[in-house]
Structure 1
Amino acid sequence: MARGKIQIKRIENATNRQVTYSKRRNGLFKKAHELTVLCDATVSLIMVSNSGKIHEYISPSTTTKQFFDQFQKTKGVDIWSSHYEAMQEHLKKLKEVNRRLRKQIRQRVLGECLNDMSFDELRGVEQEMEGAVEVIRKRKLRSATEMNRNLREFDARDDPHYGLVKNGREDYESAFGYSSNGGPRIFA
């Protein structure tokens, strides 16, 4: 029985599409392996499914880095330079932010680096500090009020006789394990 020709178009059924992708992917990887073994070729396949999974095959005799280095040399392009430059710019920005934050910490927490600030900058730092103190005071007051309210609720629920022995002598003696005759009470 001969296989029929199929029309090359997107498979609408998601399950059938996934099964076809998996089978054909495995077939491609098998062919890539055969090319590597039979022809001593360096083969690399990178496939990304519609779900975002990456599948790759690289000839056992090479690494991914070696393959891309050979690709760059053959094509005369540098695929890493633009990415490297972008990372260097990002690093420069992060270092500047870090430097400014460290300076602010030294100014606000330790009181250092204030000599090189202008009057307006000092006034701004002072206003920020006053605002921070106000926020802290409000939070402290709210916390103290909440603790007070919790204590009052606890006192209201607390039994005034909790943990105390009733007024009778018998209860007192039984609580401490003594009998009326003054000797220790023996429990059986």
Structure 2
Amino acid sequence: MGRGKIEIKRIENSSNRQVTYSKRRNGIIKKAKEISVLCDSQVSVIIFSTSGKMHEFCSPSITLSDILEQYHKLSGKRLWDAKHEHLDNEINRIKKENDNMQIELRHLKGDDITTLNYKELMVLEEALTNGISALKTKQMELVRMMRKHNEMIEEENQNLQFKLRQLQLDPMDTGGNHVMESHGQGMYDHQAGVANYEACHSQMPPPPFAFRLQPMQPNLQDHF
């Protein structure tokens, strides 16, 4: 008994629909591989499921972009609008610019310069000269900044050493400076004045003893 024909319409049952999709998808991709190998043809297949998952096959000897380009030439139809074409041109421009920058970088490193002519070598020399000049300017700026920073550190170090010496000479003088007072046209140093006063009085002889006579008591007179 032969197989009956299946009516081509949407399968309502979701489980049966998913099973049929998997079987038919694998069958289409298998047939595309077979015709590509048996007939040496260029085949590309793209299948999207209802969930958006993509399955594809393309002949090993060609890419999908090449097949699309051939389709554009033979059919005269574009698969994308002018906006997408502009983006494609922009991508190609950026790729080309990147390739040129890679070449210039190799030239600046001294690689692949044997094929350059005289004019190109002059342009390369000018670029290197400008780069060296900018590098030296930046280097001198950094040297000046470091020198100024070192001078500030040295000045601060000297101030700290001066304050330390003052504290060692006079620990009681927390300010590290003598207190000066103005008297007329000169300045009077309190600390020096106290020191002179103590030195002068240390050399003077002690004062004589002073005796105080008490009045005679009456009871003592009776005994004598």
Which of 1 and 2 has higher RCO (CA within 8 Å, sep 6+)? 1
TM norm structure 1:
0.42
